[in-house]
Amino acid sequence: MMLAQSPSMIGATKWVHDGSWGTKGLYPLQSRVWGKRVGILGLGRIGFEVAKRLAGFNLNIAYSDVSAMSYAPDWTFTPDKISLAEHADFLFVTLASSANTHHIVGVEALDALGPDGMVINISRATNIEEKALLTALENKTVGFAALDVFEGESTLNPRFLALDNVMVQPHHAYGTY
């Protein structure tokens, strides 16, 4: 989702399909991925696999978890979610769902991520305060969200569908052959 959205591949595809390329010219340049800063909230099994793949893009990787992980010596441990969000251009949420992680990404973390930041939730919907995220996306206090999970899925909050700064996927994360 990060690789598709950062250069706006979906937007560029729509640009070609709707004839804008022919009438308006080239699609506006977007953001690169290489060399950016990533924050991974939860460096368990899935977070670790995400980080390994992101390392190939020469990204500055930081993570937050209950403690520093001995298996991640090349990445920066950040003890709290706010510092992690401040660090990140891309904030990946890869936590298990629990009472301790319920709405762990709320207004404060979204504000720390900022208007150029992208939040990517591939964990559980309950880990993100969905109403706060929708408000941040609508107000452009967060630049973009890429989401694979939603509260009340498969029925999405219709506010998501009105936004051009969100990528929605039908909860199929690793669903491949």
Q: Do the Cβ atoms of 4 and 49 come closer than 8 Å?
A: no
Neighbour tally for 20: CB within 10 Å: 15
What are the catalytic residues?
A: 124, 153, 171
- Say how far apart CA 99 and CA 116 lie, in whole Å: 30
Q: Do the Cβ atoms of 114 and 105 come closer than 8 Å?
A: no
pLDDT digits 0-9 by tens, 116-175: 999 999 999 999 999 999 999 999 999 999 998 888 888 899 999 999 899 888 877 666
**What is the pTM assigned to this prediction?**
0.91
Q: 21-46: string of b/e by CB count within 10 Å (b at 16+)?
A: eeeeeebeeeeebeebbbbbbbbeeb
pLDDT digits 0-9 by tens, 27-49: 998 888 888 999 999 999 999 99
Q: Which two tokens stand for residue 60?
A: 């500055």
